[in-house]
Amino acid sequence: MPTDTIDIRYVAKLARIALTDEEIEVFGRQLGDLLAHVNALSKLDTESVPATAQVVESRNVTREDVITPGLDRERVLAQAPQRQGNFFRVPRIIAE
Amino acid sequence: MSVPMDARIEKTASEIAADVRARRLSAVEVTEATLAHVEAVDGLIGSYLTVLSDAAREHAARVDERIRNGESLSLAGVPLAVKDNMCLESTRTTCGSKILEHWIAPYTATAVARLLDAGAVPIGKANCDEFAMGSSCENSALGVTRNPYDTSRVPGGSSGGSAAAVAAYEAAIGLGSDTGGSIREPGAFCNLVGFKPTYGRVSRYGLIAFASSLDQIGPLARTVEDAALVYDAMAGYDPMDETSIERAVEPAAGALLDDLKGVRIGIVRDFDTGALGAELDALYRQAYRDLEQLGAELVEVTLPTADYGVPTYYLIAPAECSSNLARFDGVRYGLRVDGEDVQAMYDNTRAAGFGPEVKRRILIGTYALSSGYYDAYYVRAQKARTLIARDFERAFARCDLIACPAASCTAFEFAAKSDPYSMYLMDYYTIPMSLAGLPALSVPCGWSTPEGGAVPMPVGLQLCTPLFGERLLLGAAHAYERATRHASARKPLAQEARA
Amino acid sequence: MSPAYEAVIGIECHVELKTATKMFCGCPNAFGGEPNTKICPVCLGMPGALPVPNAYAIELIVTTGLALGASIPDFSKFDRKNYFYPDMPKDYQISQYDMPLTVGGAVKYWLEDGTTKECRLTRIHLEEDTGKSTHAGSGDGRIAGSEYSLLDFNRAGVPLMECVSEPELRSPQEAIAYLESLRRTLLALGVSDVKMEEGSLRCDANVSVRLAGSTELGTKTEIKNMNSFRSVERAIASEIERQIEVLTSGGRVVQETRGWDEVNGVTHSMRSKEEAHDYRYFPDPDLVPLEISRIDVDRLRTTLPALPWQRFERYTAAYGLGAKQATQLIDNRSLGTYFDRVVECSGNPQQSSNFVLGDLARLANESGVAVGDSQVLPEHLAELIGLVEGKRINSTTAKALVERMWNGAGSPAAIVDREGLAQTSDPATIEPLVDEVLAAHSAVVADYRAGKTNAMGFLVGQVMKASRGKANPALVNDLVREKLSR
C-alpha cells in the first residue's frame, strides 16, 4: 500500500471544503494515523479475490419509461439559497 | 418533574397497538400522553431535534378514524421516533448537520411512510451523529442527547436520539439506520433491542445516504416482538430503491421462538471477550450458557478476517460518503455561505456546514478514490470485503446463528473518546456483519458498572444470521429475552425521576 | 493542408435519447418548457432520493450498438463520475466507466463523391445529462466575464448516449460525413431527434496532425463549443491548420481543450492538461449491474430497420443511382419510403428516382403535403413508369399525368385509355404534321439551313404541340431532321 503522506490541500480542493491551516495540520495528522491503521489491509492476500461493490445480487432492476408526478416549482425554489425568478442563482462560475 | 409517569406510554408497541385496535385506548390519548412526557423529560435527555406535536396529533386522529372504519393496523397509535436522517414530508430533516439545519423535506421516506400507513404516530425527529457518522451522538451539530440510564453518558450512535427516545419512553419505537453498527450499538447502550435487517430488506428511499452499500434502516425497540412488528410493517421491495430486494418477506412477529432446540449457535473464537474486562467477559460467557440452556448447541466458529473489518469499513464508507455528500453544495437547498465565485461558495459552504468528523470522512474517502490511490485503497478494501463475507459463509456452514458482543464497552462519558480511531473501534463487533450485509441485532444481556460509573449500564449481546435469516434471528432473540429478562431489571433515570 | 502532414480526428458525440422520461426518474424528457418544471427529488439530487434506470433508454443504447455492429457485453454497470458543477445536481454524474453497454462497432459513411468508408467506434455508453446554466452579466451570454449564473434543471437527468469513435478520420470532410451518417442512423432507429440546434446532439473533436505515413499519433487537442455540422467542419479545418503552423514553425502542440470561436473562426485555449480532472470514478452503489441477456439482444436485433448505409449501398450499387440522389432519398424519410415502394412495384429504380425526386418532390414542396400522404399511390406511379417504359406515352404526357394524379386522378393507364393519350409512333400520322409545321415556319427553316442548328428544337416543339403532346418525341426528332436535311 502507498505510504505517501496525504496531500491534504489537493484532497480538500477535490472535496471542495475550505480548510484552515489548523485543520490542515490536525486532519493531516488524523488521516495519516487512519491510513497507518488501514494499511493493515496489505497483509491480506487479495490477489485473486473479486471486489465486492454491493452485497445484493440483483440484476437489471429498471423502471418502465412512464411519466410520474414531480415536485412543484414554487415549493422547491422556496428552499433555494438564492433564486432569481424561476431559476436557481449561483455566483459566477470560473471556467476551469 | 411533577407529572407522574403515564402507564399508557410504558406499554410496548405491541400492547399499545392491541389496545388501540380494540379501542380500549385511542391513538390520540397515547399521543397526548407521549407529547406531555416528551415535554417533561426531553429537556434533560435531548432525544429530539424537532418535536412534531401538530403532525403527531393529526396522524393520531387519522389513526383513530381508520380504526373506527374497521381497519386493522399493526402499529395502531404506536409513538414513533424517526432518526433525523429520514425524510418526512413537510418536516425539517437535518441529519444533525448545520448544512441541512433548516431543510424541509418535500417527500417521505418509504420506510417511514410504511410505518405511518401501519398506524404509527410520528412524535419527532430524533438526534443523530451528523450524517450518521459516529458512535456516540456527540457528532450532532444541533443538539446533545444523553443516555437515559446515566445522563453523564452518551446514548451511543449514530442513532442515539432514537435509542434515547425509546429508552426514556418518549416513543415506543425508534427508527434508526445502521451503516456499521449505528442501530446495534445505541441499542446496547440504551437497554434496547437494536435490529439491522439484511441489506436491501428495507428501502433506503428517503434515507439520507451515508454509505449506500452499507446503510440499512431498522428499529430500536424495548422488546424483540416490537422490533419484529416494525420489521414486518416496513420490509420489502420498493420500486424507488433498486437495491431493495424483491423477495417475499416472511412475517417475523408471528414466528417468535420460546426455546432454541435444534439451533446451532456459533461462538466466534476470534472475538475474545476476555479482552473486554472481567465483568463483561463473565456477562457474555453467561449469555452463551443461557443460550445453551435454551436448547441451542454451541459450536466454535472462526472469522479470521475479523480484525480487517474496521480498516475495510473506514475506506469503503468514507469513499461512498465523499460522493454522497457532494450534493450539499449550497446551490439548490440547505446552507449557503457566499464566496466571490461559485467554487469559493462551495468551499465556504461546506467548510461551515460540515462538522469535523464529516470532513474527516469526506477527505479520507476522496483520497481513497483519487487518482493513483483507487486500486491501493478502495479496490483493496472491496476485496477485503469479499473475504470478510466469505468468512461468514464458512462459519454459517457450521452454525445457524452467531452470538457475540454488540459493543466493546458500555456507554461512555461525554468526550471520553477524543481520538477518532478509538471511536472507530467502537464498531469492531458490528462492522463485519455490515460489510457482509447480514441481519444482526443487539439484545440486552445484563448490566455492568463502568469504571468510575455511578450506576450499572446495559450490555448488549449481538446475534447474527445468514442473509435473510430475520425470522430465526428475531425468533431466537425473543427466546433469549423471554428467558433472561435483563431489560426490565432497571429503570431509566428519567423515568425514576418522575415516578 | 501541407502535403507533408495528415490529420487524425476522433469524434465524441453526446446524444439525448428520445424517451418519454428521464434516465433515472419519471420526470418528462422534453426540450425546453418553463424553467424548473420538470423536476423531482431524484433529478434535483435531493437528500435521500435514489436513481432507478429507464429500461427503454437501456434498450435504445443496445439497439444502437447492434445497428452499428458493436458487441454487447454480458455485464455492464453504472459508475459515478465525481466533480462539482452547479448544473449537476448531485455533483457527480451517473455514467459508465470501464464496462459500457456496447463495445466496438463502426459507423459506415460516404463522401459526396460516393466513396464509402468506415470509422470504428471505441464504445457507446449511457449517462445522464446536466441541467442548463445561463450566464449573466458578460453581455454575450458567455461564461467568461459573467457575474452570476441561473440554473434550470429541466434537462438534468435526461438520458444521454456517449458515442466515442476511434481516431480514424482524416479530414474535416470525413468528420462531417461520419457525423451525418451517425445522425441518419440514429434517426432511422428512432433513438434521438439528433438536433444540434436543440442540443440533442453535441460533439467534441479530438484533433492531431502527424507527418503523412507516420504511424505514431501526434499530440491531440480537444475541440469544444461547436454547435452545427458546419462549425464542426470549420473548427476542425482551422485547428488542423493551426497545428501544422505550430509544427512547421518549430513549436510543439500542447495537449489541451480548445473552444471554437464561431465569429472569429479560430479555436482558443480553454484549459490545459495540467489541471486535468480527477474524477474519482467508482461503481455507483445505488444501482445494480446490468446483464443484457442474449434473448433481449436477439429480440432487439430483429427490430432493426434498414440502415442508411445499407440503403446507400443498395441505391448506388444495386440501383445505379448517383450518390446525390441516394443521399436525398435517405435523408427524406417520406420520399425514401415511398421510393422503395415504387421500385418494388415498377422494378425501375432510375425512373422511380426521377419521378420521386423530381415531379413528386416539387409537388410535395409546393403543396406542403408529404409524398407518402398524397393521392399518388406508389402503384399508380409504377404504372406510369410502365407506360413510359413501354413507350405508350411520352415524357410530356407523363409529366402532365403526374400533376393530375397528384390532384386525385387515379390510375394513369385508365386516363390514357379513356382520353386516348397514348403516344403516337406511326409516321403516317406524324409526317403530315411535320410538313405543316415546316411550311408554316419557313423563316426558321431557313435559319436552320443557314447553320443555326438549335432552331430544330423549336420546330420539334411545334410538332409536339400540333400532336397535342402525343407524338413520340424521338420519332418527331428523326422526321424533322430528315426533312430539314433534304
Catalytic residue among B158, B244, B408, B434: B158
Residues 6+ apart with CB under 8 A from A27: A8, A19, B356, B359, B360, B363
Question: pLDDT of B108-150, one tens digit each?
Answer: 999 999 999 999 999 999 999 999 999 999 999 999 999 999 9
Q: Which residue of C has its CA nearest to A71?
A: C40
Residues of chain B that touch chain C, judged by Cβ-Cβ distance less than 8 Å: 85-87, 93, 95, 100, 103, 105-107, 109, 204-209, 211-213, 239-243, 319-320, 322-323, 326-329, 331-333, 342-343, 346, 366, 369-371, 374, 378
C-alpha cell at B367: 483520497
B316 contacts B381 by C-beta, under 8 angstroms: yes
* Residue B417 is a catalytic residue: no
Q: Does C228 touch chain A (CB under 8 A)?
A: no
Tell me the backbone φ, ψ of residue B425, rounded to 5 degrees: -70, -15
Under an 8 A CB cutoff, do B369 and C282 touch?
yes
Q: How many CB atoms lie within 10 A of CB C157?
A: 32
Q: How confident is the model at residue A96 (pLDDT cuts 50, 70, 90)?
A: low
Residue C424 has pLDDT above 90, yes or no: no
* Per-residue pLDDT, B494: 60
pLDDT band at A4 (very low <50, low <70, confident <90, very high): low
The active-site residue, picked from B83, B125, B196, B417, is B83
Nearest to B332 among C45, C281, C286 (CB): C45
Q: What is the band of C271 on the pLDDT scale with cuts at 50, 70, 90?
A: low
- Amino acid letter at B471? R
Percent of chain B predicted with pLDDT > 90: 92
Confidence of residue C138 (pLDDT cuts 50, 70, 90): confident
**Which H or E run contains C285?**
none
Report how many Cβ contacts below 8 Å link chain A to chain C. 122
Average of per-residue pLDDT across C321-339: 93
Beta strands in chain A (DSSP E): 83-84, 87-91
| pLDDT, mean of residues C202-207 | 96
pLDDT for residue C166: 98
- C282: nearest Cα among A7, A47, B434, A54: A54
Average pLDDT over residues C447-457: 85
C11-34: pLDDT as tens digits: 999 999 999 999 999 999 999 899
| C-alpha distance from A66 to closest chain B C-alpha (Å) | 13
Residues of B in contact with C52 (CB under 8 A): 239-242
Give me the pLDDT at residue B389, please: 98
Q: B366 and C46 in contact by Cβ < 8 A?
A: no
Q: Which three cell numbers stand for residue C214?
A: 507516420
Q: Answer whether B342 sits within 8 Å of A94, measured CB to CB.
A: yes
Chain C residues whose CB is inside 8 A of the B322 CB are 82, 280
Report the pLDDT value the prediction gives residue B272, as an integer from 0 to 100: 87
Look at residue C272 in the predicted model and tell me its pLDDT.
Answer: 52
- For residue B63, what are the contacts with CB-CB under 8 A and spacing of at least 6? B20, B27, B73, B76, B77, B119, B121
pLDDT in tens, B41-65: 999 999 999 999 999 999 999 999 9
Q: Do B311 and A63 touch (CB under 8 A)?
A: no
Candidate from B87, B323, B332 with C-beta closest to C80: B323
pLDDT at C468: 79
Q: What is the pLDDT of residue C422?
A: 79
Question: Is the minimum CB–CB distance between C439 and chain A shorter than 8 Å?
Answer: no
Residue type for B155, please?
A: P
Instruction: Classify B151 as helix, strand or coil.
Output: coil
User: pLDDT band at residue C144, thresholds of 50, 70 and 90?
Assistant: confident
Please tell me the predicted confidence (pLDDT) of residue C394.
82
**Angstrom distance (rounded) from CA B315 to CA B435:** 12
What is each CA distance from C41 to B320, B378, C287, in whole angstroms? 20, 29, 17
* Residue B72 annotated to the active site: no
pLDDT at B3 (0 to 100)? 42
For B377-429, give the secondary structure using H, E and C: HHHHHHHHHHHHHHHHHHHHCCCCEEEEECCCCCCCECCCCCCHHHHHHHHCC
- Mutation target vs C (from B332, B380, B385; most C CBs, 10 A cutoff): B332
CA B188 to the chain's CA centroid: 10
Higher pLDDT, B208 or C138: B208
Provide the residue count of chain A.
96
Grid cell in block for residue C438: 415546316
At B318-356, the pLDDT tens digits run 999 999 999 999 999 999 999 999 999 999 999 999 999
- Can you give the pLDDT at residue C235? 97
pLDDT digits (tens, 9 = 90+) for A55-95: 988 999 999 999 999 999 999 999 999 999 999 999 999 87
pLDDT at position C274: 46
Of C138, C154, C156, the C-alpha closest to C32 is C154
Q: Report pLDDT for B117.
A: 98
Q: Does residue B382 register a pLDDT over 80?
A: yes
Exposure pattern of C171-189 as b/e (b: 16+ CB <10 Å)? bbebbbbbbbbbbbbbbbb
> What pLDDT band is residue C276 in, cutting at 50, 70 and 90?
low
* 8 Å CB contact of B369 and C89: no
Query: Cβ distance C52 to B240 under 8 Å?
Result: yes
Residue C258 backbone phi and psi in degrees, to 5: -125, 140
**Rounded Cα–Cα distance for residues B363 and B356 (Å):** 10
Q: How far apart are CA C175 and CA C169, in angstroms?
A: 6
Tell me the per-residue pLDDT of B408-450, one tens digit each, with 9 for 90 and over.
999 999 999 988 888 899 899 999 999 999 999 999 999 999 9
Residue B1: which pLDDT band, with cuts at 50, 70 and 90?
very low
Neighbours of chain C (3+ CB pairs under 8 A): A, B
Distance of alpha carbon B454 from alpha carbon B281, whole angstroms: 20
Residue-wise pLDDT for B254-300, tens only, equals: 899 999 999 999 999 999 889 899 999 999 999 999 999 999 999 99
String of DSSP letters for C338-385: HHHHHHHHH--HHHHHHHIIIIIHHHHHHHT--GGGSS--HHHHHHHH
- Residue to substitute from A38, A59, A77, interface B, most B β-carbons within 10 A: A38
Q: DSSP labels for B70-138?
A: T---TTTT-EEEEETTB--TTSB--TT-GGGTTPBPSS--HHHHHHHHTT-EEEEEEP-SGGG--SSST
Taking an 8 Å cut-off on Cβ atoms, the answer to whether B381 and A41 are in contact is yes
Closest-CA residue in chain A for C274? Answer: A96
Quote the pLDDT of residue B498.
Answer: 52
Contact B204, B197 (CB under 8 A): no
Summarised one tens digit per residue, pLDDT across range C36-49 is 999 999 999 999 99
Q: Which of C41, C52, C53 sits opposite B106 (nearest CB)?
A: C41
**Half-sphere exposure of C22 toward its Cβ, with a 13 Å CA cutoff?**
29
Q: Hey, are the CB atoms on C146 and A84 less than 8 Å from each other?
A: no
Weakest-pLDDT range from B327-331, C200-204, C433-437: C433-437
**Position C273 pLDDT exceeds 60:** no
Give residue C416's pLDDT: 85
Restricting to C residues 233-272, those with a Cβ less than 8 Å away from any Cβ of A are 270-271
The string of pLDDT tens digits covering residues B365-380 is 999 999 999 999 999 9
* Minimal C-alpha gap between C66 and chain A (Å): 19
| Tens-place pLDDT, residues B196-207 | 999 999 999 999
What is the CA angle C318-C324-C330, rounded to 5?
Answer: 70
What's the whole-number average pLDDT of chain B? Answer: 96
Shortest CA distance from C90: residue in chain B: B327
List Cβ neighbours of C324 (8 Å cut-off, separation of 6 or more).
C112
Where does residue B344 rank: exposed (0-12), middle (13-18), buried (19+ CB within 10 A)?
middle
CA distances from C109 to B250, C112, C207 (A): 58, 10, 19
Q: How far is B401 from chain A (nearest CA, A)?
A: 19
Catalytic residue among B26, B182, B203, B434: B182
* Cell numbers that stand for C284 in this block: 455507483
**Integer Rg of chain A from CA:** 22
Active site residue B83: yes
Looking at the complex, report in whole angstroms how far the Cα of residue B32 sits from the nearest Cα belonging to chain A: 31
